[in-house]
Chain A
Amino acid sequence: MATAAEEEANRPFAGLSDVSISEDIPVEGDISVPVGPSARRDDEFSTLDEPVKETVLRDLRAVGKKFVHVLYPKRSTALLRDWDLWGPLLLCVTLALLLQGGAADSDYQGGPQFAEVFVIVWFGSIIITINSKLLGGTISFFQSLCVLGYCILPLTVAMAVCRIVLVAGSGSVSFAVRLVVVTASFGWSTFASTAFLADSQPANRKALVVYPVFLFYFVIGWMVLTFSPSQ
């Protein structure tokens, strides 16, 4: 009887290592302590085997989803929760490339160089993030970088539109059109980023955090607007 009781006592543990569960004591569920959510463990195992296209597309889809969040900004935590810096990098490189080919022949007093755009975007974002953290914000460093980087999207779109308009002509009509487009996208960027960042600050300091963001997008908008093609 003692051995039978021992056997029965050992049975639940034995049932784990066995694929087939003992018929005497049906054990339901899993009493092992999982290291992480079991779904992710399956993913980690399976992402090694999936085709590269699948991996790349998954990241691209995440980036694209965040683009949509920026274009229709509402107070959602999706951008904050799964932050990534691929999107900002993509946007920064695109913007810097589009700002080239302007008065960049041999005139050194031309527009911003590629490195200058990078420095302004990334150091500007870092300084704004440090500023918001010093003012007591609850948002983390990389989340803030992610939000500021993604909200450059409207200005990048405006840059592309400006280059297309400049192909058509560069008189005052085109300047007026470019001015309207850049102003609208600058307002959009500022509004989108404050929709994400404003919640992380106490009410009596919101303006102190929003002003640097305004200045940042203003400077980028200025760079977009003053792009003049080489003729």
Chain B
Amino acid sequence: MASTNDPFQFQEFEEAGNLLEANRNATTISIEDDDIIPEKQRQAAGFSPDDEDALASDDKTELLSGLKKSVPFWTFEYYQRLFDVETHHVKERIIGSVLPWPGKNFIHVYLRKTPDLYGPFWICTTLVFAIAISGNISNFLVHLGKPNYKYTPEFQKVTIAATAIFSYAWLVPLALWGFLLWRNNKIINLVSYSFMEIVCVYGYSLAIYIPAVVLWILPYEWLRWCTIVVALCLSGSVLVMTFWPAVREDHPKVIIAIMSAIVVLNVLLAVGCKTYFFSKPQALPADKSAAIEVTKAPSTT
């Protein structure tokens, strides 16, 4: 490594600075060395320059470039780092996932290398209970007035909702991350996402479904389909815009396969939840409910 103070070092310094803007992941060791080494040479009194520079550059690199020490995943501190968010961060991320803007990649704009687990976990939990409770209320409203209907809280559906949503929010990112890692070995990508970032995007993209699910309480089929379409568009576009830069350089068939898989799984989750938890509302008013019951009985879940 160069350790002289000649004017050529400044040209290198500028190049390193440009590289840093293009790719935030670039190591900044060369910049820090350029800063420290002239100082060290001014202050040094007979130290062997290599050792001193190596140590100082390591420390300064860490502190000044903000790179975090990697902590093993079985320590509490690892997870504490994943909860290092404040209230306004979470609010911004939720709004960013609900209102996607073309060109604004969720990971680059909102996460900025600090994914959190708070959002995905609590959004998934809220969605689980929202689906179970809304489904219960909508079933109650649909069957209201029928003489032989006995209201049950249907608490077992919470378990089913939890399994579906948590497996979507955790297993699909795992599969996607594994697949992207595999493709990265074949095709060099400038953009690569860590597992936590993908989990974060998927978790926050589910946030739009919470108001949608609450709207599904009202027993109007057209309203339910409208809200499903709107929610699918918003959440699907967040996911597609986030993953587009990661697969852009790949083979066109692979791009289509990944994008359609992301969208199809999203659609499956939304339509599946709607079908399973929300029974079909009656088409005719309640005074003909006796006749409707006979014909609708085989079709309601």
Measured CB to CB, the closest approach of chain B to A71, in angstroms, equals: 27
Cross-chain contact B80 with A211 (CB below 8 angstroms):
no
A226 touches B (CB below 8 Å)? yes
Cross-chain contact B80 with A136 (CB below 8 angstroms):
yes
B83 touches A (CB below 8 Å)? yes
A223 vs B154: C-alpha distance when bound (angstroms): 10
Measured CB to CB, the closest approach of chain B to A154, in angstroms, equals: 20
Cross-chain contact A112 with B87 (CB below 8 angstroms):
no
Cross-chain contact B122 with A211 (CB below 8 angstroms):
yes
B125 touches A (CB below 8 Å)? yes
Measured CB to CB, the closest approach of chain A to B210, in angstroms, equals: 12
Stretch binding the partner chain, chosen from B98-106, B145-153, B281-289: B145-153
Question: 1/0 contact trace for B160-197 toward A, CB 8 Å?
Answer: 00000000000000000000000000000000000000
Stretch binding the partner chain, chosen from A34-42, A161-169, A199-207: A199-207
A52 vs B122: C-alpha distance when bound (angstroms): 46
Cross-chain contact B90 with A103 (CB below 8 angstroms):
no
B136 touches A (CB below 8 Å)? yes
5 intermolecular pairs with C-beta atoms under 8 Å apart:
A103-B150, A111-B155, A206-B87, A215-B125, A228-B150
Binding site for A on B (CB under 8 A): 76, 79-80, 82-83, 85-88, 90, 118, 122, 125-126, 129, 133, 136, 150-156
Report the nearest A residue to B119, measured CB to CB. Answer: A208
Cross-chain contact A111 with B118 (CB below 8 angstroms):
no
Cross-chain contact B152 with A110 (CB below 8 angstroms):
yes
Given contact pairs A111-B152, A131-B122, enumerate 15 new A-B contacts (beta carbons under 8 Å).
A103-B150, A109-B154, A110-B155, A134-B79, A134-B80, A136-B80, A136-B83, A205-B85, A205-B86, A205-B87, A207-B87, A208-B86, A215-B126, A226-B153, A228-B150
Cross-chain contact B86 with A204 (CB below 8 angstroms):
yes
Cross-chain contact A208 with B87 (CB below 8 angstroms):
yes
A15 touches B (CB below 8 Å)? no
Cross-chain contact B152 with A135 (CB below 8 angstroms):
no
Cross-chain contact B154 with A208 (CB below 8 angstroms):
no
Residues of A within 8 A of B133 (CB): 222
Of A208, A212, A223, which is in contact with the most chain B CB atoms at under 10 Å from its CB?
Answer: A208
A113 vs B156: C-alpha distance when bound (angstroms): 10
A135 vs B82: C-alpha distance when bound (angstroms): 9
Q: Contacts A131-B118, A226-B136 given: A110-B153 contact, CB under 8 Å?
A: yes
Report the nearest B residue to A130, measured CB to CB. Answer: B79
Contact of B118 among A116, A135, A222, A231 (CB under 8 A): A135
Report the nearest B residue to A211, measured CB to CB. Answer: B122
Report the nearest A residue to B150, measured CB to CB. Answer: A103
Cross-chain contact B87 with A204 (CB below 8 angstroms):
yes
Residues of B within 8 A of A111 (CB): 152-153, 155
Question: Closest 8 CB pairs between A and B?
Answer: A134-B83, A226-B153, A204-B86, A207-B87, A112-B155, A111-B153, A109-B152, A228-B151
